[in-house]
Homo-oligomer: A and B are copies of this chain.
Protein backbone atom coordinates (compact mmCIF):
# COMPACT_ATOMS: atom_id res chain seq x y z
CA UNK A 1 0.00 0.00 0.00
CA UNK A 2 1.68 3.16 -1.11
CA UNK A 3 1.19 6.18 1.09
CA UNK A 4 -1.49 8.68 0.20
CA UNK A 5 -0.34 11.89 -1.41
CA UNK A 6 -1.45 15.13 0.18
CA UNK A 7 -4.09 15.61 -2.44
CA UNK A 8 -5.33 12.05 -2.13
CA UNK A 9 -5.62 12.33 1.63
CA UNK A 10 -7.42 15.60 1.24
CA UNK A 11 -9.90 14.19 -1.26
CA UNK A 12 -10.63 11.22 0.97
CA UNK A 13 -11.21 13.71 3.74
CA UNK A 14 -13.58 15.74 1.64
CA UNK A 15 -15.62 12.71 0.71
CA UNK A 16 -15.69 11.74 4.34
CA UNK A 17 -16.77 15.21 5.43
CA UNK A 18 -19.33 15.88 2.75
CA UNK A 19 -20.66 12.43 2.11
CA UNK A 20 -20.84 10.76 -1.30
CA UNK A 21 -20.17 13.27 -4.03
CA UNK A 22 -19.15 13.72 -7.63
CA UNK A 23 -15.66 14.65 -8.74
CA UNK A 24 -17.12 17.88 -9.93
CA UNK A 25 -18.27 18.79 -6.45
CA UNK A 26 -14.81 18.05 -5.13
CA UNK A 27 -13.31 20.33 -7.72
CA UNK A 28 -15.63 23.15 -6.73
CA UNK A 29 -14.36 22.95 -3.18
CA UNK A 30 -10.80 23.40 -4.35
CA UNK A 31 -11.72 26.10 -6.80
CA UNK A 32 -13.57 28.11 -4.19
CA UNK A 33 -10.91 27.71 -1.53
CA UNK A 34 -8.89 30.82 -0.70
CA UNK A 35 -5.69 28.80 -0.84
CA UNK A 36 -4.34 28.77 -4.39
CA UNK A 37 -2.09 25.84 -3.72
CA UNK A 38 -4.05 23.24 -5.63
CA UNK A 39 -5.53 24.06 -8.95
CA UNK A 40 -8.39 21.62 -8.54
CA UNK A 41 -8.01 20.93 -12.22
CA UNK A 42 -10.04 18.19 -13.81
CA UNK A 43 -6.80 16.57 -14.87
CA UNK A 44 -5.89 16.15 -11.23
CA UNK A 45 -9.21 15.09 -9.73
CA UNK A 46 -10.73 12.66 -12.21
CA UNK A 47 -7.71 10.40 -12.49
CA UNK A 48 -7.22 10.65 -8.74
CA UNK A 49 -10.66 9.34 -7.79
CA UNK A 50 -10.22 6.57 -10.32
CA UNK A 51 -6.97 5.67 -8.67
CA UNK A 52 -8.59 5.63 -5.24
CA UNK A 53 -11.36 3.50 -6.59
CA UNK A 54 -8.92 0.98 -8.02
CA UNK A 55 -7.36 0.85 -4.58
CA UNK A 56 -10.81 0.21 -3.09
CA UNK A 57 -10.71 3.31 -0.95
CA UNK A 58 -13.60 4.79 -2.84
CA UNK A 59 -16.45 3.13 -4.61
CA UNK A 60 -18.64 4.78 -7.16
CA UNK A 61 -22.10 4.29 -8.47
CA UNK A 62 -23.17 5.70 -11.76
CA UNK A 63 -26.26 7.76 -11.69
CA UNK A 64 -28.18 9.51 -14.38
CA UNK A 65 -30.20 12.67 -14.09
CA UNK A 66 -32.11 12.82 -17.33
CA UNK A 67 -29.67 11.84 -20.02
CA UNK A 68 -26.67 12.87 -18.01
CA UNK A 69 -24.32 10.34 -16.55
CA UNK A 70 -22.27 11.10 -13.48
CA UNK A 71 -20.53 9.23 -10.74
CA UNK A 72 -21.12 9.43 -7.05
CA UNK A 73 -18.05 8.49 -5.09
CA UNK A 74 -18.29 7.26 -1.54
CA UNK A 75 -15.81 6.04 1.06
CA UNK A 76 -15.40 2.33 1.57
CA UNK A 77 -14.52 1.02 5.02
CA UNK A 78 -10.95 0.61 3.82
CA UNK A 79 -11.10 4.22 2.67
CA UNK A 80 -12.10 5.37 6.12
CA UNK A 81 -9.27 3.38 7.61
CA UNK A 82 -6.84 4.85 5.10
CA UNK A 83 -8.01 8.34 5.95
CA UNK A 84 -7.57 7.65 9.63
CA UNK A 85 -4.10 6.24 9.05
CA UNK A 86 -3.23 9.32 7.03
CA UNK A 87 -4.28 11.48 9.95
CA UNK A 88 -2.55 9.47 12.60
CA UNK A 89 0.75 10.24 14.26
CA UNK A 90 3.56 10.21 13.67
CA UNK A 91 2.99 13.09 11.29
CA UNK A 92 5.32 13.23 8.33
CA UNK A 93 8.25 15.57 8.69
CA UNK A 94 6.94 17.81 5.96
CA UNK A 95 3.79 18.46 7.98
CA UNK A 96 5.56 19.75 11.06
CA UNK A 97 8.52 21.50 9.45
CA UNK A 98 8.48 25.05 8.18
CA UNK A 99 5.94 25.15 5.39
CA UNK A 100 7.08 26.38 2.01
CA UNK A 101 6.38 30.01 1.24
CA UNK A 102 7.20 31.38 -2.20
CA UNK A 103 7.10 34.90 -0.84
CA UNK A 104 9.69 34.09 1.77
CA UNK A 105 11.85 32.37 -0.80
CA UNK A 106 11.77 35.41 -3.03
CA UNK A 107 12.50 37.81 -0.26
CA UNK A 108 15.71 35.97 0.46
CA UNK A 109 17.12 37.30 -2.82
CA UNK A 110 15.58 40.72 -2.81
CA UNK A 111 19.01 42.28 -2.62
CA UNK A 112 19.44 41.31 -6.26
CA UNK A 113 17.05 44.11 -7.15
CA UNK A 114 17.93 47.80 -7.13
CA UNK A 115 16.46 49.76 -4.22
CA UNK A 116 13.45 51.17 -6.02
CA UNK A 117 12.28 47.79 -7.20
CA UNK A 118 12.79 46.31 -3.79
CA UNK A 119 10.36 48.80 -2.46
CA UNK A 120 7.98 48.02 -5.29
CA UNK A 121 8.21 44.34 -4.38
CA UNK A 122 7.38 45.04 -0.78
CA UNK A 123 4.55 47.36 -1.65
CA UNK A 124 3.01 44.83 -3.99
CA UNK A 125 3.43 42.03 -1.50
CA UNK A 126 1.93 43.96 1.38
CA UNK A 127 -1.02 45.29 -0.59
CA UNK A 128 -1.99 41.98 -2.12
CA UNK A 129 -1.36 40.06 1.05
CA UNK A 130 -3.65 42.39 2.88
CA UNK A 131 -6.37 42.02 0.32
CA UNK A 132 -6.02 38.27 0.55
CA UNK A 133 -6.17 38.45 4.31
CA UNK A 134 -9.59 40.00 3.99
CA UNK A 135 -10.73 37.09 1.90
CA UNK A 136 -9.46 34.63 4.45
CA UNK A 137 -11.19 36.54 7.18
CA UNK A 138 -14.49 36.41 5.35
CA UNK A 139 -13.98 32.74 4.63
CA UNK A 140 -13.28 32.19 8.29
CA UNK A 141 -16.53 33.82 9.33
CA UNK A 142 -18.42 31.79 6.79
CA UNK A 143 -17.02 28.53 8.02
CA UNK A 144 -17.65 29.54 11.56
CA UNK A 145 -21.28 30.02 10.75
CA UNK A 146 -21.37 26.67 8.97
CA UNK A 147 -21.09 24.96 12.32
CA UNK A 148 -18.31 22.55 11.35
CA UNK A 149 -15.82 23.05 14.14
CA UNK A 150 -12.78 21.71 12.39
CA UNK A 151 -13.55 23.44 9.18
CA UNK A 152 -13.59 26.63 11.16
CA UNK A 153 -10.39 25.79 12.97
CA UNK A 154 -8.67 25.11 9.69
CA UNK A 155 -9.73 28.52 8.42
CA UNK A 156 -8.42 30.01 11.64
CA UNK A 157 -5.09 28.40 10.90
CA UNK A 158 -4.99 30.11 7.55
CA UNK A 159 -5.85 33.39 9.21
CA UNK A 160 -3.07 33.00 11.77
CA UNK A 161 -0.66 32.33 8.93
CA UNK A 162 -1.70 35.36 6.98
CA UNK A 163 -1.45 37.63 9.98
CA UNK A 164 1.98 36.31 10.76
CA UNK A 165 3.08 37.03 7.23
CA UNK A 166 1.73 40.53 7.49
CA UNK A 167 3.57 41.14 10.72
CA UNK A 168 6.69 39.75 9.14
CA UNK A 169 6.40 42.06 6.15
CA UNK A 170 6.01 44.99 8.52
CA UNK A 171 9.23 43.93 10.14
CA UNK A 172 10.91 43.66 6.77
CA UNK A 173 9.72 47.12 5.80
CA UNK A 174 11.07 48.52 9.00
CA UNK A 175 14.41 46.84 8.45
CA UNK A 176 14.62 48.14 4.91
CA UNK A 177 13.82 51.65 5.89
CA UNK A 178 16.37 51.66 8.63
CA UNK A 179 19.29 50.89 6.37
CA UNK A 180 21.00 53.16 3.86
CA UNK A 181 21.59 52.56 0.20
CA UNK A 182 23.20 49.41 -0.95
CA UNK A 183 23.78 48.31 -4.50
CA UNK A 184 22.31 45.25 -6.12
CA UNK A 185 25.59 43.54 -6.98
CA UNK A 186 25.91 40.01 -5.91
CA UNK A 187 27.47 39.43 -2.58
CA UNK A 188 29.53 36.28 -2.73
CA UNK A 189 33.11 35.71 -3.79
Contact = CB atoms under 8 A, between A and B. Distances in A.
A113 interface: yes
Contact of A172 (B86, B88, B153): B153
A158 B104 contact: yes
Contacts of A38: 100
A101 B103 contact: no
A contacts with B: majority SS: helix
Interface residues of A, number: 81
Given A91-B125, A149-B111, A101 B36 contact: no
Given A88-B120, A187-B148, A83 B109 contact: yes
Contacts of A128: 90-91, 96
A17 B188 contact: yes
A84 interface: yes
A81 B13 CA distance: 43
Given A19-B188, A36-B94, 17 more contacts: A13-B112, A17-B112, A17-B188, A36-B98, A37-B98, A84-B113, A91-B106, A92-B102, A95-B103, A97-B132, A100-B100, A103-B157, A153-B171, A153-B172, A157-B172, A160-B164, A160-B171
Contact of A36 (B37, B93, B110, B120): B93
B37 A99 contact: yes
Nearest to A20: B189
Contacts of A78: none
